Structure 1
């Protein structure tokens, strides 16, 4: 299954949910969201959503 435009919105939601689990610090959460948002324009929708989400979780886990 290829990703769609809706997947990009979901990536930000995943980043926020993961950031909330990872830290209570709102500045750190915002940094995670900013870093994931910067990735969105370069995400290739030919990939699967699972493949695209790997970078989201990598950033949140740093």
Structure 2
């Protein structure tokens, strides 16, 4: 039993690169779960800003080598 208790901290230390992303994902999910409904409520109460038409091809820019 003493050998196992000696190895547990060693393996826990070796798994730090695994624990850090897992903790970050858990905290991010918790933040999204708490802040999500408030964010959606803010988004639906505002009037959308009027914007001009948007081209699916993107903005018009001069072809390569033609800029002056």
Would you say same fold, with TM above 0.5? Answer: no
Higher helix share: 1
Relative to the length of structure 1, the TM-score reads 0.29
Relative to the length of structure 2, the TM-score reads 0.28
Larger Rg: 2
